[in-house]
């Protein structure tokens, strides 16, 4: 299993690592990594590996077998051999925008308190699909509520609960299509706000900013009807 340094500190941009395996497809597995693997609607991180005067661009990261995180080279190239000590670096601007959009989507689920059936995260915008049979009302008011939550600069923190605690509190899960991973004994929760200022608490394995003020101004974009009960709400970073 790859140790997930991005869970300890999502702001880590560089870190050492050691190659522990290659995959048949040409991927690289490190003992520890700062690269977030694609999942939960969030793209895998990109960046580079540096060793002995060599540099290998990484296009994305994906989940492998047995808890491994596989780094996928941008182009076919000689790989660092197993056992090589190296330095890994993120495309930080891209990752940080994912963190801002991901946290913004949590806030979107606060101002639109409906079950979520899907979602996607990009560098400029994200979207959530809601179980929303009726059209969205007063978009301007919802957008104002979103930007108020951003302006309050609420802390974004994590907690952990057991699988049993999650099973006893099914209301924590907002997503209808993707259930949080269980079976390892505990589940990660992302909390926005604290005490009386708490506005959201839900299972999530992604990367987030440390406070909502880092998100910047938001704009609700196109709302698309995707079925009898499903509507897709697009959310844009304005800065």
Summarised one tens digit per residue, pLDDT across range 102-129 is: 999 999 999 999 999 899 999 999 999 9
* Each residue's pLDDT tens digit, 12-39: 999 999 999 999 999 999 999 999 999 9
In this structure, are 27 and 77 located in the same domain?
yes
Q: Where residue 180 falls among pLDDT bands split at 50, 70, 90?
A: low
Parent domain of 25: 3-90
Half-sphere exposure of 35 (CA within 13 A, CB side): 36
Name which residue leads in pLDDT, 33 or 184.
33
Domain count, the chain: 2
In this structure, are 82 and 200 located in the same domain?
no
Q: End of a domain among 61, 90, 119?
A: 90
In this structure, are 188 and 114 located in the same domain?
yes
**Range of weakest confidence among 72-81, 85-94, 160-169, 183-192:** 160-169
Residue of 19, 11, 67 lying closest to 39 (CA atoms): 67
In this structure, are 73 and 130 located in the same domain?
no
Residue of 158, 156, 157 lying closest to 186 (CA atoms): 158
CB distance 121 to 236 below 8 Å: no
Name which residue leads in pLDDT, 173 or 151.
151
In this structure, are 150 and 85 located in the same domain?
no
CATH number at residue 86: 2.40.30.130
Q: End of a domain among 43, 66, 90?
A: 90
Q: Which residues of 179-216 are buried (b: 16+ CB within 10 A; e: fewer)?
A: ebeeeeeebebbbbbeeeeebbbbbbbbbbbebbeebe
Q: End of a domain among 41, 56, 90?
A: 90
- Asked if pLDDT for residue 175 goes beyond 80, the answer is no
In this structure, are 109 and 187 located in the same domain?
yes
């Amino acid at each position: 299993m790859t140790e997930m340094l991005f869970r300890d500190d999502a702001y880590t941009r560089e870190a050492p690592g050691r190659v522990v395996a290659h995959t048949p497809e040409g991927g690289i597995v490190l003992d520890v990594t700062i690269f977030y693997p694609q999942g939960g609607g969030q793209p895998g991180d990109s960046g580079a590996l540096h060793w002995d005067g060599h540099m290998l661009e990484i296009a994305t990261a994906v989940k492998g077998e047995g808890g491994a995180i596989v780094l996928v080279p941008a182009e076919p190239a000689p790989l660092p051999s197993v056992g090589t000590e190296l330095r890994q670096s993120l495309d930080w601007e891209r990752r940080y925008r994912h963190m801002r959009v991901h946290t913004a989507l949590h806030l979107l689920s606060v101002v639109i308190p409906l079950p979520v059936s899907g979602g996607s995260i990009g560098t400029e915008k994200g979207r959530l699909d809601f179980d929303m049979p009726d059209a969205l009302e007063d978009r301007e008011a919802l957008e104002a509520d979103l930007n108020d939550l951003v302006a309050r600069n609420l802390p974004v923190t994590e907690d952990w609960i057991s699988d049993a605690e999650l099973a006893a509190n099914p209301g924590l899960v907002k997503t209808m299509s993707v259930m949080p991973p269980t079976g390892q004994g505990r589940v990660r929760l992302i909390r926005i706000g604290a005490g009386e200022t708490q506005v959201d608490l839900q299972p999530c394995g992604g990367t987030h900013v440390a406070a909502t003020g880092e998100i910047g101004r938001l704009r609700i974009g196109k709302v698309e009807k995707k079925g009898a009960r499903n509507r897709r709400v697009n959310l844009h970073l304005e800065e």
